[in-house]
Amino acid sequence: MPYPSPVAAALSGASLGQLQYWRAGGDSALLAPELPRAGGRVLYSFRDVIALRTFVFLRESVSLQRVRKAVYTLRELGNTAHLSQYRLVTEGSSIVLLPPDGDVAIDLVEQPGAGRLAGTLGEVFAPFTNQRGDQVVDLLRPRRHLAVDPETLGGYPIVSGTRVAFDSVASLVRDGVGPAEIKGFYPSVSAAGARDATDFADEVDRYRSGDLEVA
């Protein structure tokens, strides 16, 4: 199940303006969504969201120009898989590519292609604070009673232990159905799950109506 831009923003910590800026430029785009548009809407995949979180995570420590250079060097070195497949971390003012195994990382910015000792991998899936000072949610558990599982609905946020999308529940609550009454529509969804689904939907809406920062 694809992610509309506001959901991708809420799960990655990027603003809508950043998403727009990073996908601009055609072949030189930092990250163009791998899914086609639907009805004019931009849609992101689960892999896209992982890559977006990586960019947001890196932007805590380095400039966007260095992120772009790292991606360019990665491609120049023959790494053409989806960006979500690579583990990128900051080392000082540079960005390095961590190998699947071994201790030697590849510098992508200051000395492109040079080997150096690998640092620790920042946990991109875990909560962190983005460049704007906002808390970015845990990717796989954006709320206590919500889950993101790439094997269920393509990674679209669901109420834990169910296959029910968070926004399906939130829309009912917003229409006046009490959290405790959600079981009448979705027997497997608890009142706590309904509250968390609505709370996360509120966060998605904050991203939807947020500023268009592009740095």
How confident is the model at residue 214, as a pLDDT? 43
Q: Return left, alpha or beta for 186; rule: phi > 0 is left, psi -120 to 50 is alpha, else beta.
A: beta
The single-letter code of the amino acid at 7 is V
How confident is the model at residue 73, as a pLDDT? 92
The pLDDT tens digits along the chain (215 residues) read: 899 999 999 999 999 999 999 998 877 889 999 999 888 899 999 999 999 999 999 998 899 999 999 999 998 989 889 999 888 888 888 898 887 765 678 889 987 766 555 445 557 899 999 888 889 999 999 999 999 999 999 999 999 999 999 999 999 999 999 999 999 999 999 999 999 999 999 999 999 886 444 44
How confident is the model at residue 121, as a pLDDT? 53
Q: Which residues pair with 90 in a beta bridge?
A: 95
Taking alpha carbons only, the member of 61, 64, 76 closest to residue 24 is 64
How confident is the model at residue 215, as a pLDDT? 45
- 24-55: string of b/e by CB count within 10 Å (b at 16+)? eeeeeebbebeeeeeeeebbbbbbbbbbbbbb
Distance between CA atoms of residues 4 and 151, nearest Å: 18
Please state the pTM of the whole predicted model.
0.86
Domain boundaries, the chain: 137-215
In CATH, the architecture of 137-215 is: Orthogonal Bundle (1.10)
Interacting residues of 28 by C-beta distance below 8 A, sequence separation 6+: none
How confident is the model at residue 122, as a pLDDT? 57
How many Cβ atoms sit within 10 Å of the Cβ of residue 145? 22
How confident is the model at residue 212, as a pLDDT? 40
